[in-house]
């Protein structure tokens, strides 16, 4: 028994020394040992080998989508068929669009995990792939043991061990085997400004905070998240609010913060919710009414190593953290874009759209005019009425319908 206890003590000592030398000290001094780069390269080689195994076995690759849409508008598709009269065949157009929306609409896809063209060896996606060959099954089992028995405990232990904001953020990124490529650091947000970024995951805050300190704007929470917020407030003046407060009060708080040039830049995600790494949806105009300098930042994750997107309508925070902890790694690119200011006679909506377009272009993502609030709310009646008016204009153009107007 004494010999066994001595062996366990030695193992624990070696584990602590490795944690301090390989994780803690590099995080404190913010230097990289190249371990994450080496780890990611090995995982890529394993993915490539697994893909070859699947190609030689069964044809099980998932399709990108079940609907093949034509990129044409209502006006382009049916306007040419009208001579100022109602056409009964128009019913087929709306029936087709309705079936497409029910089966796979454009907005709902942005709140589901991004589809992969190959398997990333995670047990919770495409699990049937591991049966292609015994070699692939063996690698899959070993991967489960590594992620659940080694990476997850190690990451959780490291994440709970820091109190200082920047060190904690840097350590947190490395605890999830994060590999972040920062570009154009000369454009990093300055004091007294506003940092605006697209939003995919709660990890966005951790990733940006690992390269600089920010004051955060967000909803005040209770429970575990509230405890974390209160701890962060001890070191940095964040801007927290309740949704029951008036929007004017939120605006005043932001203006008061950026008026003090000694305070950290505010970090804001104007979409208001997480989008699945493929698109940038409508920016709320409130952040662009404050004034001051806007520092756009584009964040793009590599989905091959793990799904960074948080579908808050499907997973709780604890479930999301568990999924991240059991992924291979979190790999992403962060681009600091040149600062932008609102032009003369430019309103907040146009300024927000201009900033959004720059972020989407740099991150290689599409721009959607939809409000992220559709994740939890129904489509506004005004949107439906707008489509109805367009159709009425098409069928009544250069003529009339029957003895009266269909509108």
Residue pLDDT tens, the chain, 407 long: 556 667 777 777 787 787 778 777 777 677 778 888 888 888 888 888 887 877 776 554 444 444 556 666 666 666 656 555 667 677 777 777 777 776 666 676 677 666 666 667 775 555 566 677 778 888 888 888 888 877 776 666 544 433 467 777 888 888 888 899 999 999 998 877 889 999 999 899 999 988 888 887 766 666 666 676 666 665 566 676 665 555 555 565 666 666 666 678 888 899 888 998 999 999 988 878 877 789 999 999 999 998 899 888 888 888 998 999 899 999 999 999 999 998 888 888 999 999 999 999 999 999 988 888 777 777 777 777 887 888 888 777 755 554 444 45
CA angle 386, 391, 392 (to 5 degrees): 95
Nearest one of 282, 247, 279 to 373, comparing CA atoms = 282
C-alpha span between 238 and 220 (Å, rounded): 10
Q: State the DSSP code for 401.
A: B
Q: What domains sit in the chain, N to C, each tagged with a CATH number? A: 81-114+379-396 (no CATH), 161-375 (3.40.1130)
Q: State the DSSP code for 150.
A: I
What pLDDT, on a 0 to 100 scale, did the predictor assign at position 161? 39
What pLDDT, on a 0 to 100 scale, did the predictor assign at position 336? 95
C-alpha span between 83 and 400 (Å, rounded): 9
Look up the pTM and report it.
Answer: 0.64
Could you tell me which residues come within 8 angstroms of residue 124 by beta carbon, excluding any fewer than 6 positions away?
323
What pLDDT, on a 0 to 100 scale, did the predictor assign at position 332? 94
Strands 279-280 and 366-367, by their bridges, are parallel
C-alpha span between 181 and 287 (Å, rounded): 27
Q: What is the largest CA-CA distance in the chain?
A: 101
C-alpha span between 163 and 223 (Å, rounded): 19
Q: Return the exposure string of 220-257: e unless at least 16 CB atoms fall within 10 Å of the residue's CB, then b.
A: eeeeeeeeebeebeeeeebbbbeeeeeeeebeebbeeb
């Amino acid at each position: 028994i004494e010999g066994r206890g001595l062996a366990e003590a030695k193992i624990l000592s070696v584990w602590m020394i490795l944690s301090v030398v390989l994780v803690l000290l590099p995080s404190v001094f913010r230097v990289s040992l190249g371990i994450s780069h080496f780890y990611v390269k090995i995982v890529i080689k394993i993915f490539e080998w697994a893909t070859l195994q699947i190609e030689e076995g069964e044809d099980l690759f998932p399709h990108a989508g079940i609907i093949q849409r034509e990129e044409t508008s209502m006006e382009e598709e049916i306007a040419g068929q009208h001579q100022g009269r109602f056409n009964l065949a128009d019913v087929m157009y709306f029936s087709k669009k309705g079936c497409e929306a029910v089966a796979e609409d454009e907005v709902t896809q942005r709140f589901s995990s991004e589809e992969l063209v190959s398997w990333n060896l995670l047990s919770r996606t495409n699990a049937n792939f591991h049966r292609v060959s015994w070699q692939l099954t063996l690698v899959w089992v070993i991967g489960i043991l590594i992620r659940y028995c080694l990476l997850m405990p190690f990451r959780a232990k490291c994440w709970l061990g820091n109190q200082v904001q920047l060190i904690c953020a840097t350590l947190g990124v490395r605890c999830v085997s994060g590999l972040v490529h920062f570009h154009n650091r000369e454009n990093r947000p300055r004091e007294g400004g506003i940092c605006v970024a697209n939003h995919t995951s709660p990890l966005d805050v951790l990733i940006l905070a690992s390269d600089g300190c920010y004051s955060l704007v967000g909803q005040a929470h209770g429970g575990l998240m509230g405890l974390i917020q209160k701890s962060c407030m001890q070191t940095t003046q964040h801007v927290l609010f309740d949704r029951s407060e008036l929007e004017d009060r939120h605006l005043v708080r932001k203006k008061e913060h950026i008026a003090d040039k000694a305070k950290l830049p505010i970090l804001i995600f104007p979409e208001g919710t997480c989008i699945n790494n493929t698109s940038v949806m409508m920016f709320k105009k409130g952040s662009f009414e404050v004034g001051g300098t806007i520092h756009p930042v584009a964040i793009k994750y590599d989905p091959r190593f793990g799904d960074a997107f948080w579908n808050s309508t499907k997973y709780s925070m604890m479930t999301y953290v568990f999924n991240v902890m059991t992924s291979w790694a979190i790999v992403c690119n962060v681009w600091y874009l040149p600062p932008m200011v609102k032009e003369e006679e430019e309103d907040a909506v146009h300024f927000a759209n201009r900033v959004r377009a720059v972020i989407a272009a740099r991150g290689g993502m599409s721009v959607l005019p939809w409000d992220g609030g559709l994740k939890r709310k129904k489509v506004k009646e005004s949107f439906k009425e707008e489509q109805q008016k367009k159709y009425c204009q098409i069928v009544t153009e250069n003529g009339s319908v029957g003895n009266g107007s269909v509108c």
